[in-house]
Chains A and B, each alone.
Chain A
Amino acid sequence: MAYTEEELKKELETKEYEYGFYTDIESDTFPKGLNEDIVRAISKKKNEPQWMTDWRLEAFRIWESMEEPEWANVNYEKPDFQAISYYSAPKKADPNKTLDDVDPELLEMYRKLGISVDEQKKLQNVAVDIVVDSVSVATTFKKTLAEKGIIFMPISEAIQEHPELVKKYMGTVVPKTDNFYAALNSAVFTDGSFCYIPKGVKCPMELSTYFRINEGGTGQFERTLVIADESSYVSYLEGCTAPSRDENQLHAAVVELIALDDAEIKYSTVQNWFPGNAEGKGGVYNFVTKRAICEKNAKVSWTQVETGSAVTWKYPSCILKGDNSIGEFYSIAVTNNYQQADTGTKMIHLGKNTKSTIISKGISAGKSQNSYRGLVQVGSRALNARNFSQCDSLLMGNECGAHTFPYIEAKNKTAQIEHEATTSKIGEDQIFYCNQRGIDTEKAIALIVNGFSKEVLNKLPMEFAVEAQKLLEISLEGSVG
């Protein structure tokens, strides 16, 4: 055999984070710490109207009265919220400049990441709203979208240009009081994306945002708001990679999706932030609140591939408020070395004839801990609610853990709920079978893992599926024989 298990393990451990580099851009950074003045300063910096400043301040006061949650199945050193700088903007950014004016250093960074803006623009038919640290530096395809009446812009611009929409919807799905990190985000969010699809419009291209954390010691607090008006459709992609840093970095985003009557939103995420090195040092803390609300006949589909971050705490959820609405959740979470992931979904059935599907695949290797935590709740008026959940875990090596915490609460007799979960390892006979046919062990594992994850990978848009498959391979190469 070409590889022994030992060699494979060694290779994996020494495999450096591929995207671990640091781009030196002069940043306009706030002093560390958080108080009302900082919140006001962020608001001022963003040139926000008074109502927005008040909204932030209220969130800040709520946050101050809250305590950091402890219930997740993860252990980590609590971030010191006074040691974080809450605003950092690349200095050379100018909202009016075109793609040609973009800082060549930044373009170089994207090139390394393999997501050339030009390429995407021309070849992949993707409009990219790039966020580096906190300010958007390039927005493409805006014109094409504008013709259809689609609004796709950084949320800070949306607050200026479409205050009525922002005011109406922001905080309606994830209220300021929702949880510790959502309150923090509401107070200090610096940027993010805003998207509005008008009535009856089918968005002609996949909308995409790439978030990165760049400046050391800065947290990133994005706020994404996607509104699909009646009978519209949008597919939104979000991809993440972060440069390698020693210090733990905090990321607390809030994503709100609003699908009005008959609308459909497809939200896909590939998350590959720095997971820390083989000793578990460094890495990003990813504490995200994602939630969608579905009105009548609406459909929201979450797809996520989670391979990065040292600690992940993320539950994209659907509130199925309208009759006949549909919620879907497809997830692959891969953990290696000392990574910890506590992720899953919540499906809240409130309307009649609502349906939800949950497919969750967890793969744990090294010394990592991977948890699925989910809630399926059927309210007493949710007639004929239907849910199917499947949570499969794959364990590689005997030092990792896989956990499932599914909560199922039914208050209606017409509810039909099925939940299945399995835990297993890659069968020796499966690998033997591949070896026998001339496929080496590493390829065999990739093959089996791909097969294991196929149900979820299939749900990703084409260009993301390729990237995701690559990520799976990088994260797991040679984990176990």
Chain B
Amino acid sequence: MELKDKLVSSFIAFEDNVDVEHSVHDIRTEAIKNFEAKGFPTKKEEAWKYTSLNNLRKIDFSLFPKTENTIEYKDVKQYFLHEIDTYKIVFVDGVYSSYLSETTHDGVDICLMSAALTKDMYKPVIDVYFNKVASKDESLTTLNTAFSKEGAYIYIPKNKMPKKPIEILHFSTGNEASLLLQPRNLVVVEENAEVQIIERHQSLTDNNVLTNAVTEVFAADNAIVDIYKLQNDNANASLIDNTYIDQKNKSVVKVHTFSFGGKLTRNNLNFYQNGEYIDSIMKGVTILGEKQHVDHHTLVHHIEPNCESHQDYKGIYGESSTGVFNGKIIVDKIAQKTNAFQQNNNILISDKATINTKPQLEIFADDVKCSHGCTIGQLDEDALFYLQSRGIPIKEARALLMYAFANNVLESVRIPELKSRINALIANKLGVSLGFDL
């Protein structure tokens, strides 16, 4: 059966297990209708020109994993940021693992979507925020909405800041031959509040996993939100990560995306600036090899005046990997004094690697400063020679230059332990050990 038909028909089975009286029921029903009408996106659509889901659609994914797949902490410790204390929301094959998690209700709510969607005490927040910024039109987002049941729920009230960063981890055990996961996260950060979130998807075997995640983030006035996405999954794991961010006056939201692995990764990052003096920051480092495919799709919609956005994506592509960057900036007519910057630098280190990039500006206001820059190039031969002449082997010399290339993206990572973790990942990916951090 086509994956689409399978999904649509299993919606009824899914409905049996959730509360159909809840207002979210209507949202789900509406969403599945949209997905049924639209189906999976194809390469004919402009937004999916360079990324094909055809191979994934042929896989017979199981949609509802058997419950209770337990894993031991020692087996997965390496995937946690274990050097520091963090709140943890951990899912194993899509099911919440209370054993591995550490949640809280102490002043802030760091808990589960399933609880938020069913318990009355969360209803006021769900009614105001759930599915409010996520697209009601984009087919994969609506697919997630239709099956939204579990994920992370984070609510930070006014003037609060959680004591420690929050880790959201999704493990897949590979007990199922192929598994489709659809986590749904909601992050609400109220006025003057602050939060740091680290997100990771990890499969523990080489079985097929497809994750179609949707995260909604609401940053109220003066809120500060840092999100770090670590994508270093196995060769058969694919991820479609849809993030929708709604920002109010003077809020600052930073999203760092580190893509080092996975078969197919598609990041849809959408910022909507519903206020003035907002800053939106997107940074990314992509280092790929083998036949990996990463597609970064960003959208910044400048709706109000006096806002800024900064995008900086660096990519290093080896072997037969493919990189896509599609950055879109829309500046509305009234969004005067907008400053929007976009930068995309790429290095190709293999003959078979491909880069497709499309930085896009759509500007309707006249008093703006918008620019985008995009480069594709190689490592500087002179710099390589210089390093070699000082006794640094070619491999390390190359790695050193690539480190330097990725450096200014890492600079803005505010958790030192995370930074050295990413450093280690980069070194590992480049196959060298430099013995120092950036």
List the interface of chain A (C-beta within 8 A of B): 71, 378, 380, 393, 395-425, 480
User: Chain A residues near B377 (CB, 8 Å)?
Assistant: 415-417
The answer to whether B361 has its CB under 8 Å from any CB of chain A is yes
Determine how close the nearest CB of chain B comes to the CB of A72; give it in whole angstroms.
12
The answer to whether B181 has its CB under 8 Å from any CB of chain A is no
Q: Show 27 residue pairs from A and B whose CB-CB distance is below 8 angstroms, ordered by the A residue.
A: A393-B361, A395-B365, A395-B366, A398-B333, A398-B366, A400-B364, A400-B366, A403-B360, A403-B363, A404-B359, A404-B360, A406-B358, A407-B357, A407-B358, A408-B374, A408-B376, A409-B355, A410-B346, A411-B354, A413-B353, A415-B377, A416-B375, A416-B378, A417-B375, A418-B375, A419-B374, A421-B361
Cβ-neighbour of B372 out of A398, A411, A413, A421 (below 8 A): A421
Determine how close the nearest CB of chain B comes to the CB of A53; give it in whole angstroms.
36
User: Chain A residues near B333 (CB, 8 Å)?
Assistant: 398-399
Q: Is B375 within 8 A of A409, CB to CB?
A: no
Nearest CB in chain A to that of B334: its residue: A398
Interface size, chain B (Cβ < 8 Å) = 35
Chain A binding surface SS class: strand
Q: Is A425 within 8 A of B367, CB to CB?
A: yes
User: Chain B residues near A417 (CB, 8 Å)?
Assistant: 374-377
Q: Is B356 within 8 A of A421, CB to CB?
A: no
A-B contact sample (20 more), CB < 8 A, given A398-B364, A404-B360, A410-B346 = A71-B46, A393-B363, A398-B366, A400-B366, A402-B361, A403-B362, A403-B363, A406-B374, A408-B357, A409-B355, A410-B355, A410-B356, A411-B353, A413-B350, A415-B348, A415-B376, A419-B357, A420-B371, A422-B371, A424-B368
Determine how close the nearest CB of chain A comes to the CB of B422; give it in whole angstroms.
25
The answer to whether B178 has its CB under 8 Å from any CB of chain A is no
Given contacts A413-B350, A415-B348, contact A406 B356 (CB under 8 A): no
User: Chain B residues near A410 (CB, 8 Å)?
Assistant: 346, 348, 354-356, 376
| Cα separation A393 to B363 with both chains bound (whole Å) | 10
Nearest CB in chain B to that of A375: its residue: B358
Cβ-neighbour of A423 out of B357, B359, B370 (below 8 A): B370
The answer to whether B124 has its CB under 8 Å from any CB of chain A is no
Which are the 5 A-B pairs with shortest beta-carbon distances? A413-B348, A395-B366, A417-B376, A419-B374, A423-B370
Nearest CB in chain B to that of A425: its residue: B366
Given contacts A405-B360, A406-B360, contact A422 B367 (CB under 8 A): no
| Cα separation A411 to B355 with both chains bound (whole Å) | 7
User: Chain A residues near B374 (CB, 8 Å)?
Assistant: 406, 408, 417-420
Q: Is A404 within 8 A of B378, CB to CB?
A: no
The answer to whether B351 has its CB under 8 Å from any CB of chain A is yes
Given contacts A406-B360, A425-B367, contact A414 B378 (CB under 8 A): yes
The answer to whether B391 has its CB under 8 Å from any CB of chain A is no
Determine how close the nearest CB of chain B comes to the CB of A388; give it in whole angstroms.
10
The answer to whether B163 has its CB under 8 Å from any CB of chain A is no
The answer to whether B6 has its CB under 8 Å from any CB of chain A is no
User: Chain B residues near A404 (CB, 8 Å)?
Assistant: 359-361, 372
Cβ-neighbour of B363 out of A402, A405, A418 (below 8 A): A402
